[in-house]
């Protein structure tokens, strides 16, 4: 399902969760706070209401047997028709999805410029829709809790409830798609409190940052122990960037958070490969709309001794508008020294145990020396000589091993 929307300033939030997770509770609370909630299931029903072209086309494709006695769509009969028939399901999707997408786009475009639009999509994970949103919220609860809710609230048998759950995305798939995980296995007040906090601390601030084209403000970043979810977070951000610029893009996870086991400041560094700085400038607006405004005062990296000409080190850098996820997005021209070195240093530190240990020791020493004072500037300055000295070793490693950026 593709959604067309021309209101670029608004914050788009994808909301999903398996059957019985309590997703509607979260959607309702967000609406109480002022979010514009767009319910994909409701739209799917609207486009096949009696008298619509959608219903007429469904009947033409599958026969009058999919109609109930009152002329409405008999969803159970339609499901039985398409459930085990891939071709039939493809025909049905071809009828419904464009209509659902158009109607969703109309509702999004009608939202105010300062809206937080929450798109409630049950199959967001299954249909890989996450990259189209600024943020994805996943509501979850233990399977037994979900089964109990389905049996009590929907009158379904336990066997059918478990079958429905098993047919949906796995917890692992949902965690991979989630920017925010809302655990809803306890008392209702607990998840509502989490939603209240999310709204005040993240969504409202994220929306205003996107609308005003500014980066989020964070406390002074400190070196923390490695987070095993950093690569998954980087992958979600990379997919979002590719969707934002409307083409297949090379977005690499670079820096310390890309090196397993390496302590780092909790800032995800990404590199978007471009053909030139002119192309980078053309991408400034779509990236800002996607939540990555440009930092105009930075236009180059510090030259290294092996390539001293500053013109070779030109770049553009964007930061995150999301208060919950610091990001540095570096746009560098393919083949430039800075582009190659960013990829090389990460690869070398991942592959060379001695280099890893040496850099780890330096980071721990500097963190102990400057971390207590939140002096990140001196921390960064004192790392630079190590990188200058390490660069020839990394280049020699690349030559020795045959490493290339591709």
pLDDT in tens, 239-291: 999 999 988 889 999 999 999 999 999 999 999 999 999 999 999 999 999 99
- Extract the tokens encoding 100: 């659902």
Query: What is the pLDDT confidence band of residue 373, given thresholds at 50, 70 and 90?
Result: low
pLDDT for res 6:
45
Picking from 283, 263, 257, the residue whose alpha carbon sits closest to that of residue 366 is 263
Contacts of 7 (CB under 8 A, 6+ apart): 108, 109, 111, 113, 115
Q: Are strands 251-254 and 11-17 parallel, antiparallel or unpaired?
A: unpaired
- Extract the tokens encoding 187: 């008392």
Contacts of 257 (CB under 8 A, 6+ apart): 226, 227, 230, 234, 264, 266, 267, 268, 269
How many angstroms separate the CA atoms of 233 and 69, rounded?
Answer: 50
How many angstroms separate the CA atoms of 316 and 294, rounded?
Answer: 7
Q: Give the count of beta carbons closer than 10 Å to the beta carbon of residue 209.
A: 22
pLDDT in tens, 191-201: 999 999 999 99
Integer CA distances (angstroms), 14 to 23, 236, 399, in order? 11, 13, 45
**Length of the chain counted residue by residue:** 406
Contacts of 54 (CB under 8 A, 6+ apart): 47, 48, 95, 96, 99
For the full predicted model, state whether its pTM sits above 0.75.
Answer: yes
How many angstroms separate the CA atoms of 238 and 290, rounded?
Answer: 12
How many angstroms separate the CA atoms of 354 and 390, rounded?
Answer: 12
Cβ(147)–Cβ(6) below 8 Å? no
3-class DSSP state of 139 = strand
3-class DSSP state of 115 = coil
Cβ(5)–Cβ(109) below 8 Å? yes
Contacts of 108 (CB under 8 A, 6+ apart): 3, 5, 7, 10, 12, 38, 117, 119
pLDDT in tens, 121-136: 999 999 999 999 999 9
pLDDT in tens, 202-252: 999 999 999 999 999 988 778 899 999 999 999 999 999 999 998 888 999
pLDDT for res 125:
95
pLDDT for res 4:
46
Q: DSSP letter at 39?
A: E
Q: DSSP letter at 125?
A: T
pLDDT in tens, 333-362: 999 999 999 999 999 999 999 999 999 999
Q: What angle do CA 312, 317, 319 make, to 5 degrees?
A: 165
Contacts of 341 (CB under 8 A, 6+ apart): 304, 391, 394
How many angstroms separate the CA atoms of 165 and 158, rounded?
Answer: 11
């Amino acid at each position: 399902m593709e959604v067309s929307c021309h209101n670029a300033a608004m914050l788009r939030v994808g909301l999903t969760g398996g059957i019985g997770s309590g997703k509607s509770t979260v959607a309702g609370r967000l609406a109480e706070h002022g979010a514009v909630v767009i319910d994909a299931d409701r739209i799917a029903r609207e486009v096949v209401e009696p008298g619509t072209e959608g219903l007429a086309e469904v009947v033409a494709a599958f026969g009058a047997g999919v109609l109930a006695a009152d002329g409405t769509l008999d969803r159970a009969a339609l499901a039985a028709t398409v459930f085990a028939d891939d071709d039939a399901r493809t025909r049905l999707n071809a009828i419904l999805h464009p209509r659902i997408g158009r109607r969703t786009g109309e509702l999004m475009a009608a939202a105010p410029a300062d809206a937080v639009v929450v798109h409630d999509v049950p199959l967001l994970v299954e249909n890989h829709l996450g990259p189209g949103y600024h943020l994805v919220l996943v509501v979850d609860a233990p399977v037994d809790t979900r089964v109990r809710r389905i049996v009590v609230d929907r009158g379904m048998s336990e066997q059918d409830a478990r079958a429905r759950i098993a047919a949906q995305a796995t917890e692992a798939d949902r965690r991979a798609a989630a920017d925010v995980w809302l655990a809803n296995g306890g008392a209702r007040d607990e998840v509502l409190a989490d939603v209240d906090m999310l709204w005040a601390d993240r969504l409202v601030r994220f929306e205003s940052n996107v609308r005003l084209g500014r980066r989020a403000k964070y406390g002074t970043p400190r070196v923390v122990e490695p987070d095993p979810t950093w690569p998954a977070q980087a992958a979600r951000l990379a997919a979002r960037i590719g969707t934002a610029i409307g083409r297949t893009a090379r977005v690499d996870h670079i820096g310390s958070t890309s090196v397993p086991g390496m302590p780092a400041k909790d800032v995800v560094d990404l590199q978007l490969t471009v053909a030139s700085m002119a192309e980078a400038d053309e991408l400034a607006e779509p990236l800002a709309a996607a939540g990555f405004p440009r930092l105009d005062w930075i236009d180059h990296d510090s030259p290294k001794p092996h390539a001293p000409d500053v013109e070779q080190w030109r770049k553009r850098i964007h930061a995150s508008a999301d208060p919950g996820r610091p990001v540095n997005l570096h746009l560098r021209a393919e083949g430039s020294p800075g582009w190659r070195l960013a990829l090389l240093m990460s690869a070398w530190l991942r592959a060379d145990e001695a280099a890893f240990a040496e850099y780890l020791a330096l980071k721990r020493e500097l963190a102990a020396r400057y971390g207590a004072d939140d002096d990140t500037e001196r921390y960064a300055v004192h790392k630079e000589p190590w990188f200058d000295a390490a660069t020839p070793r990394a280049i020699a490693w690349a030559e020795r091993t045959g490493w290339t950026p591709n």
